[in-house]
Structure 1
Amino acid sequence: MGMSLTRINEVTIILYALCVLLYFIDFLNHNRKAKNIAFWLLSIVWLLQTIFLFAHMYETGRFPVLNVFEGLYFYTWVLVTLSVVLNKFLKAEFIIFFTNVIGFIMMALHTFAPSQYVSAAVSSQLVSELLLIHITMAILSYGAFSLSFVFSVLYLIQYNLLKQKKWGKRLLRIEDLAKLDHMSYVLNVIGVPMLLLSLILGSIWAYIKLEQFFWADAKVLGSFLVMATYGFYLYMRIVKDLQGKSVALMNTAAFLVLLINFFLFGSLSRFHFWDP
């Protein structure tokens, strides 16, 4: 029974991550379609959490709030319930997004940290799966940033060809500037929340698994620097309404920071031997 409950939690974590990603897209772009899908995913997350809550109540014969991990789960359930209500009746994208980021952190802590009703073997397996999810999400975010970089490079090439009035087949084979700029931005909008969730899960894994977690580790600092760099890109693009060649150059510089973090900082890390 305990293992089946943890499997419900694992599925819930994945759906919750997708939900947070879509809420982030809606938060930045007021994307109604992303918001609607995120709401349905959030509703499924709430349903799965409720099933888990009542199943655990049936198994233990009491209301599950008597230890830290049970309290975390109930707290997460309350946050998700409030998010569902807010999403249905209020236009509060800012509140809903950040509420669910907090909920996701608490849900991950509850799912992957060893608890009283999970055996040592199951706890070890869950911690390994947490690491797998952390690495997978980091790689997917790096993939999105890489494609975004390609679109920015193509933008700069197209921009220079147009400025020099070099009309030809190369110019026709490259997309127009507006589309290149938009695609680069969209991929970063996808990559940033995925990297954020990966960093959250990675921090939880390090807290659980490592005897001493070095926040000053080169790779840890580098990963948060990458996050800050792309966060600054989104800030300049959305708040300052910066577009065109300047943001393409900024995105190219951000990708160079990513490469430095991947190759140089990774080699200097005390425990990141494989992790992007």
Structure 2
Amino acid sequence: MADVRWIYDLTIFLYAASVLFYFNDFLQSNRKVNRLAFGLLAVVWALQTVFFVSQLVAKNYFPVVTLFETLFFYSWVLVTLSLVINYVFRIDLLVFFTNVIGFIVLVLSMFLPETPLHVVSGPLTSELLLVHITLAMFSYGAFSLSMIFSAMYLVQHHMLKAKRWTPMLRRLPSLDRLESYAYRMNMMGVPMLLLAILVGIIWGKLVLPEKFWLDAKVLLSIGVLLTYSFWLYKRFSDTWQLRSLALLNLAGFALVLINFLATDVSKFHNWL
């Protein structure tokens, strides 16, 4: 993989430049800088895709098994979703905040070694496992965007109550739109996470010991699903204030991060 490592390094360099330009636009609302940042982000997506495909060809499996591969794929998901959402809704601040997360995730992958192929190609690796991880990463991407929408909702809600009429306030969508976008993202994320868990259960039944579902990581995943399902229930039942729903959404994403990173509590979810 050394011959394509330069693509990975160039991706990080251009990603950093894109995020810095977006930060400049965030401070000064400069449309030329914004277009430059978006153009760089599109190039980053293209380079990430080329690098991912090169890994796929070299390793002969869908590269989402090791922690390095999963972080890279999660970053690619965030870039992809931010480009799509920006094309549909034109929310510049969403693209900026999403890619701050995406860039941090990609930088974290820099410090991880590449696991040898013979270590990855063990008996636990199968198509079901790859589908399970891929669905989970897409659901986490949807939950990430939902969290950002809820955070923007809380910021705008606070600014309106405090009567702080700043330029940033004019760049934010209305409270109703932010809440609606958060709802749409959760409506995407919950079914994907449910499918990921179901596929994981099928895989576990085939290759793992009995009572694998009592594993802490499995219980955490079910906890994430129940938290977001409860969020949807409260949203439909209209018994909570929207601000309370936004706070619950942030708490749900914190649980997502714990579930993603706390692999030491699991007997079989340890990253390679």
TM-score of the superposition, structure 1-length normalised? Answer: 0.52
Equivalence map 1:1-276=2 (5 Å): 128-264=126-262, 266-274=263-271
Counterpart for residue 100 of structure 1: none
How far the C-alpha of 1:138 sits from its partner, in A, is 0.5
Distance 1:228 1:211 in 2: 25
Q: For residue 229 of structure 1, what is the amino acid of its counterpart?
A: T
- Counterpart of 2:132 in structure 1: which amino acid? H
Distance (whole Å) between structure 2 residues aligned to residue 247 and residue 193 of structure 1: 19
Query: Quick one: distance in 2 between partners of 1:181 and 1:240?
Result: 13
Query: Which amino acid in 2 is paired with 1:188?
Result: N
**Unaligned stretches of 5+ residues in structure 2:** 1-121
Residues 15-65 of structure 1: per-residue CA shift (max 9 Å, x gap) = xxxxxxxxxxxxxxxxxxxxxxxxxxxxxxxxxxxxxxxxxxxxxxxxxxx
| Counterpart AA for 1:176 | S
Q: Which runs of 5+ in 1 are unaligned?
A: 1-123
- Give me the CA root mean square deviation: 2.1
CA contact (8 A) 1:141 1:190 kept: yes
**One-letter code of the match for 1:251?**
N
1:99-149 Cα distance to aligned partner (Å, 9 max, x none): xxxxxxxxxxxxxxxxxxxxxxxxx99x71111111100000010001000
Q: CA deviation at 1:239?
A: 2.0
- The answer on whether the counterparts of 2:204 and 2:212 sit within 8 Å (CA) in structure 1 is no
TM-score of the two chains, using structure 2 as the length reference: 0.52
Structure 1 residues 229 and 184: CA distance shift in structure 2, 3 A: same
The percent identity for this pair of structures is 49
Deviation at 1:241, TM superposition (A): 4.8
